[in-house]
Amino acid sequence: MTAAPDLSPGTLPLRPELVGLEPYGAPQLDVPVPLNVNENPYPPSEEVVADVAAAVAGATRGLNRYPDRDFADLRADLAAYLEVESGVHREPEQMWAANGSNEIMLHLLQAFGGPGRTALSFAPTYSMYPEYARDTSTAWVMGRRAEDFTLDPESARATVAEHRPSVVLLASPNNPTGTALPLDTVRAVLDAASRVPGGCVVVVDEAYGEFRRAGTPSALELLADHPHLAVTRTMSKAFGLAGARVGYLSASRELVDALRVVRLPYHLSAVTQAVARAALRHAPQLMAQVGSLRAERDALVAWLRDHGFVAADSDANFVLFGTFDDRHAVWQGLLDRGVLVRVTGPEGWLRVSVGTPAETSAFKDALVEVTGR
Ligand code: PMP
């Protein structure tokens, strides 16, 4: 009999920076009111389901072959969608897609980060950013946002000048605060980035871009003049397709070509491409609920404030609210009542996603019960 393999600590050559770490992710609990990961609460309609299923069937007939590595058709469809959504014209060669915008970010860090280089963002922000840096052996620097979660253009400019990063990640609207950045702030960062010796790519993560309030511009408008800018989007939120795993970006052709070097061959399966293209044909219908989610969000912010809570201004499909002496106790109290929110952001705050009207009212009732307000 051979001895059992020795898998005690130290046996596997785990990179030292990974020792003792847990995988990232919010608890996936089966609860009646899941409002913790900023999903779209509305599933695709039966019409969309039928079209997506037919597209998958078509793709399945060709699954003996590898998919189109450069997904030319999907890139053209994504460019056409952005033109309708933001009025900004992009060429297919200026588009890129991957399995969620998480993978897009990884491609960006693989191409532009790496050993001896630095990536920079401004806290509080999306907690995956330092993980992309860690996984690509990129040094990580966290600047600060102001107390109200805005980012002062001059302090952002100074932080870029000080740390000379090769990548700056700006979430707008920001997760977990909901804060959108004015274009002047993005311009200040782009200007500081253009002065970094060796170059610096500025990534504006617009995962929640479609939820922005009227009058809030998209950084897509700045792409034409800034070859070192990348604007990322996702089909996970506004399109309600989190399960399909489709993220994308628009940038200069040179920047996109660099991402093509680091991607794994055939990273976007034929099934994923077919699903995304079928869904894009239904963009207006899939996004029909975006307007009502925006209205629901604004009403939720107003309700929280009326009830004596603090709620951050939000351009996203979630609201950061508080503040609580013991936020874990409030989180647990809500969970005991079937409502799952997220413990994230600065101490004392919680984040709730905008759900259906029924889910929002369950959240409100539970919060009143738990806090007595
Ligand atoms: N960016 C931000 C700011 C996010 O909040 C999220 C998801 N929570 C993502 C990117 C990644 O989304 P996905 O990979 O589903 O596109």
- Ligand 1 atom at minimum distance from 237 CA: 15
**Which residue among 39, 237, 248 is best mutated to probe the pocket of ligand 1, counting the most ligand atoms within 8 A of its Cβ?**
237
The answer to whether 203 touches 105, Cβ cutoff 8 Å, is yes
The Cα–Cα gap between 102 and 108 comes to: 10
| CATH node for 48-285 | 3.40.640.10
**Which residue among 131, 175, 245 is best mutated to probe the pocket of ligand 1, counting the most ligand atoms within 8 A of its Cβ?**
175
- Which parts of the chain sit beneath pLDDT 50? 1
**Run of H or E residues at 229:** strand 229-234
The Cα–Cα gap between 177 and 315 comes to: 9
Confidence (pLDDT) at 13: 94
d(CA 93, ligand 1 centre) in Å: 23
Q: Retrieve residue 38's tokens.
A: 């900023």
The answer to whether 214 touches 178, Cβ cutoff 8 Å, is no
Q: Retrieve residue 68's tokens.
A: 């189109």
**Run of H or E residues at 351:** strand 350-353
d(CA 140, ligand 1 centre) in Å: 19
Q: Of the candidates 355, 319, 307, 364, which has an alpha carbon nearest to the alpha carbon of residue 337?
A: 364
- Omega of the bond leading into 124 within 30 degrees of 0 (cis): yes
- Measured from the Cβ of residue 364, the count of other Cβ atoms closer than 10 Å reads 16
Nearest CA to ligand 1 atom 5: 175
What's this model's pTM, rounded to 2 decimal places?
0.96
Confidence (pLDDT) at 134: 97
d(CA 39, ligand 1 centre) in Å: 10
d(CA 198, ligand 1 centre) in Å: 28
Look up residue 307 and give its DSSP letter: T
pLDDT tens readout for residues 301-354? 999 999 999 999 999 999 999 999 999 999 999 999 999 999 999 999 999 999
Confidence (pLDDT) at 112: 98
Nearest CA to ligand 1 atom 3: 175
Nearest CA to ligand 1 atom 1: 207
Query: Where in the chain is CATH 3.90.1150.10?
Result: 26-44+287-371
What's 191-209 look like in SS3? HHHHCCCCCCEEEEECCCH
The Cα–Cα gap between 58 and 269 comes to: 13
Confidence (pLDDT) at 9: 60
| CATH node for 26-44+287-371 | 3.90.1150.10
Query: Where in the chain is CATH 3.40.640.10?
Result: 48-285
